[in-house]
Structure 1
Amino acid sequence: MRFKSFCVTAIVTILGLSTAPALAQSGNITIWAWDVAASSLKLVLEDFNKKFPDIKVDVQDLGNQQVFDKTLAACAAGGAGLPDIVQVENFEAEIIWNRFPDCFSNLKDLGYTADIQAKFPEFKRTELEVGDVAYAMPWDSGPVAVFYRRDFYEKAGVDPASIKSWDDFIEAGKKIAATNSGVSMAQADFNGDSEWFRMLANEQGCGYFSTDGQSITINRPACVAALEKVKEMKSAGTLAAGNWNEKIQSSTAGTVASQLYGGWYEGTIRSNSPKLDGKWGVYPMPSLTADGPHAANIGGSALAISGTSENKEAAWAYLNYALGTNEGQVAMLKGYGLVPSLLSAASDPFISQPQPYWGGQAIWSDILATLPKIVPSRGTAFQGDADNIFKATQIKYFEGGYPDAKTALGDAAAQIASATGLPVAE
């Protein structure tokens, strides 16, 4: 079924979608994605096709690593074999743009106007835009929160509302451990991940690289303070060792009182620990000081349209519906716990509704309230190199290989400079 132009304009106005020339009513498009993200893209197809019945969408769940590897290989081949739309992790996005700047379309040419860009927080767009080119549209985000066991905290007489600083978190952990046998306050993957450092550093406005991506800032005082605090929590027993799977097992077994992660972890807890319905709650991440910032991001992805797509207009219509409307974003949140980056989604009635699994707490209202406060953190094309260097440095520091965090991160900065050719910021 095809619509005349005046009907298209009316429909677009009703939907709140872009009226740019790149609006198509028909075409076949293919998407590469993974896991619950792929499931979420399929979830919104029924409603999308009510508005665009002649656009057929094939979502292919290939797995995270395979999407990344196949994308790089296809870009290296001039875009041959790419689908119309590709899911891209923010964490890895700049690796692709820097190596292959012509592999993906500039969404600004397809209807991604300044008004639509303004619907998303700056921290989500930082890694997706280079100069005047917008390579991808923000999708889900990872506003950090503390997920906690209400019963363990209550037994120890700990009010989560009283935990404002990381020192408060440490003291609360001691009380919880003393009153709940075999229960640790939280877990961190000290050997295989940089998660806790990145969350605390981002909270303090620091990261591996400067916001403009032109210098190395991992040795800045804010990053040093973040690493010092992570080690302090490890030494105090507040943080027990645990990788991804071990955290899930501990949460289900009842041997951990808290988990610090992006809001997307809500779905992980809820789906893996269904019998703990009503026993979990959420509170804001603590800060280095009680009156410090209490917002950070970890994780999240975006959707990009390939430069070789023969149906860019249809691809844009899907992107703008799935990611640019409250309807699409809230459906994904309800179905799979993907936290919207779209700022207006915070005003949807579902966001303020009590969530039964979470003890009747309106957790999404609390989590999404931090989005505008998150400081952008730049990945650059060297994110993987920097992260690997940091993880090795972190292990050495925890084992006593450096006299202090400042020396450790100074060494990491020097190694990153050698690997990347970027200068260490003065």
Structure 2
Amino acid sequence: MRTILTCAALALALGSAPAFAQSGEITIWSWNVAASSLKATIEGFNKQFPDIKVTVQDLGNQPTYDKSIAGCAAGGEGLPDIVTIENGEAENYWSQFPDCFVDLHTLGYAAEDQAKFPDFKRTELEVEDKAYSMPWDSGPVAMFYRRDFYEEAGVDPTSIKTWDDFIVAGKKIQDANPGVTMTNADFNGDSEFFRMIANEQGCAYFAADGQSIIVNQPACVASMTKIKEMKDAGIISSADWSTKITNNTAGKVASQMYGGWYEGTIRTESPDGSGKWGVYLMPSLTADGPRAANLGGSSLAITSVSNNKEAAYAYLKYSLATNEGQIAMLKGFGLVPSLISALDDPYVSEGQPYWGGQAVWKDILGTLPKVVPSRGTPFQSDAEIIVRSVQTKYLGGGYPDAKAALDDAANQIASATGLPIEE
């Protein structure tokens, strides 16, 4: 009787999780630290729902996308109960396969539940009156840096306000620390650095309404120009995801710029770096310019073929819509909460031992209100492939300037999508 009452009380506390969603098995597809953080919530979830077995499968980022898209195309064949979906790719799913995922409203996801999350996180997850996915984490950008390398060069990170400051500091740091590169970027397989700086400057591939192409607007051109200046200055080298982790651990890089979720990657993959790392705001193009951007962030969606939709929804409500679930993932693996109430949790203001006692979450999350929303649209993948190719050619000297490069990118995206280029 006590167990029944406890579960019923939790169902009321969580909103409208159905009373019969107290048993069954659910499987989730995810990747890397995201998968690890989901596993960290299972113990707390099972204290409330002991008869729901949760299995998290770490497929890797691209395989999760590829397999879930393929599953949707096959009418849901082979899909798990829950799929992790990145915000930037979300509209690819809804536009192609609107019946592949459950409208969460049918499971009790009400307006008051939606209001617990910021609008910029919900924009790509909701279509008209349907909510296909629940917001999970966000990616407020920060510069993660090695305190010892900066100190050896006499560089105070608080003095780095602009990207030009970053270039000057990078040269000093590399001179003072032989074998160390100021920062890494995946120039061969991603446009991450460009997207972060462009978002900081209020530019993206597409306009906010998703109806036109703006990648060749002045703010994007200035962002791409600055990246080439950094590369030409020798303070930024190309490295993919795994190579960056290797460089972090081996002490071959002084800084890494990423979304806040990278905190967990550094802390868990490079444990010997405890006390050596710190965080500061990303630089801007001008001394008084914006210093906030978002990179990444995901959501959880329930597949239409799930045989345990109510149990899956109960898990979503616990892991994503309670402070307990969100803070467990933040503590364990640095997954940044999207749940507004979680940002006021005392843990956010605590100094973190790995980061030399710095209250890194207070600094990182403090930028969230300043982030300019960036719309992915159903054409994000098409645009990304084009921009990556243009970026590689531009950085190799294949265009006279960034404007010519991004004009080419805009024209290619227009041909691929049918969207107009904004004048």
Q: Secondary structure at the match of 1:102?
A: coil
**Pairing 1:89–2:121 present:** no
Residues 216-295 of structure 1 correspond to what in structure 2 (within 5 A)? 216-295=213-292
The structure-2 alpha-carbon separation of the partners of 1:119 and 1:252, relative to structure 1 and needing over 3 Å to count, comes to same
Give the structure 1 partner of residue 367 of structure 2. 370
TM-score normalized by the length of structure 1: 0.93
Q: Secondary structure at the match of 2:138?
A: strand
Residues 13-412 of structure 1 correspond to what in structure 2 (within 5 A)? 13=12, 15=13, 17-19=14-16, 24-412=21-409
Shift of 1:21: 6.0
Question: What percentage of residue pairs aligned between the two structures are identical?
Answer: 69
> Could you tell me whether the CA contact under 8 Å between 2:182 and 2:254 is conserved in 1?
yes
The structure-2 alpha-carbon separation of the partners of 1:271 and 1:216, relative to structure 1 and needing over 3 Å to count, comes to same
For 2:144, the aligned partner's letter is F
TM-score normalized by the length of structure 2: 0.94
> Could you tell me whether the CA contact under 8 Å between 1:9 and 1:19 is conserved in 2?
no
Shift of 1:335: 1.6
For 1:190, the aligned partner's letter is F
The structure-2 alpha-carbon separation of the partners of 1:80 and 1:251, relative to structure 1 and needing over 3 Å to count, comes to closer
Q: Secondary structure at the match of 2:139?
A: strand
Q: Secondary structure at the match of 2:237?
A: strand
The structure-2 alpha-carbon separation of the partners of 1:28 and 1:178, relative to structure 1 and needing over 3 Å to count, comes to closer
Give the structure 2 partner of residue 421 of structure 1. 418
Q: Secondary structure at the match of 2:29?
A: strand
Deviations 1:19-71, CA, capped at 9 Å, x for gaps: 37687333332222233322322221221122223333233333333322222
For 2:148, the aligned partner's letter is D
Shift of 1:263: 1.3
Shift of 1:264: 1.6
The structure-2 alpha-carbon separation of the partners of 1:238 and 1:130, relative to structure 1 and needing over 3 Å to count, comes to same
The structure-2 alpha-carbon separation of the partners of 1:22 and 1:403, relative to structure 1 and needing over 3 Å to count, comes to farther
Once residues 240 and 77 of structure 2 are traced to their aligned partners in structure 1, the CA distance between those partners, rounded to angstroms, is 37
Deviations 1:284-314, CA, capped at 9 Å, x for gaps: 1111112221111112211001123233222
> Could you tell me whether the CA contact under 8 Å between 2:16 and 2:109 is conserved in 1?
no
Deviations 1:71-116, CA, capped at 9 Å, x for gaps: 2222122223322211112232221111101111111222222222
Once residues 81 and 192 of structure 1 are traced to their aligned partners in structure 2, the CA distance between those partners, rounded to angstroms, is 28
Once residues 323 and 19 of structure 1 are traced to their aligned partners in structure 2, the CA distance between those partners, rounded to angstroms, is 15
Deviations 1:326-371, CA, capped at 9 Å, x for gaps: 1001111222222222222221122111111111111111112222
Deviations 1:366-391, CA, capped at 9 Å, x for gaps: 11222222222122222121111111
Once residues 136 and 195 of structure 1 are traced to their aligned partners in structure 2, the CA distance between those partners, rounded to angstroms, is 24
Shifted more, 397-406 versus 112-121: the winner is 112-121
The structure-2 alpha-carbon separation of the partners of 1:212 and 1:20, relative to structure 1 and needing over 3 Å to count, comes to farther
Shifted more, 54-63 versus 229-238: the winner is 54-63
The structure-2 alpha-carbon separation of the partners of 1:234 and 1:22, relative to structure 1 and needing over 3 Å to count, comes to farther
For 2:210, the aligned partner's letter is G
For 1:77, the aligned partner's letter is A
> Could you tell me whether the CA contact under 8 Å between 1:3 and 1:25 is conserved in 2?
no
For 1:284, the aligned partner's letter is L
The structure-2 alpha-carbon separation of the partners of 1:82 and 1:273, relative to structure 1 and needing over 3 Å to count, comes to closer
Q: Secondary structure at the match of 1:317?
A: helix
The alignment covers a number of residue pairs equal to: 423
Q: Secondary structure at the match of 1:11?
A: helix
For 2:160, the aligned partner's letter is I
For 2:28, the aligned partner's letter is I
Shift of 1:7: 7.3
The structure-2 alpha-carbon separation of the partners of 1:252 and 1:50, relative to structure 1 and needing over 3 Å to count, comes to closer
Once residues 389 and 373 of structure 2 are traced to their aligned partners in structure 1, the CA distance between those partners, rounded to angstroms, is 25
The structure-2 alpha-carbon separation of the partners of 1:155 and 1:220, relative to structure 1 and needing over 3 Å to count, comes to same
Once residues 75 and 31 of structure 1 are traced to their aligned partners in structure 2, the CA distance between those partners, rounded to angstroms, is 15
Q: Secondary structure at the match of 1:318?
A: helix
Shifted more, 52-61 versus 347-356: the winner is 52-61
> Could you tell me whether the CA contact under 8 Å between 2:140 and 2:259 is conserved in 1?
yes
For 2:201, the aligned partner's letter is Q
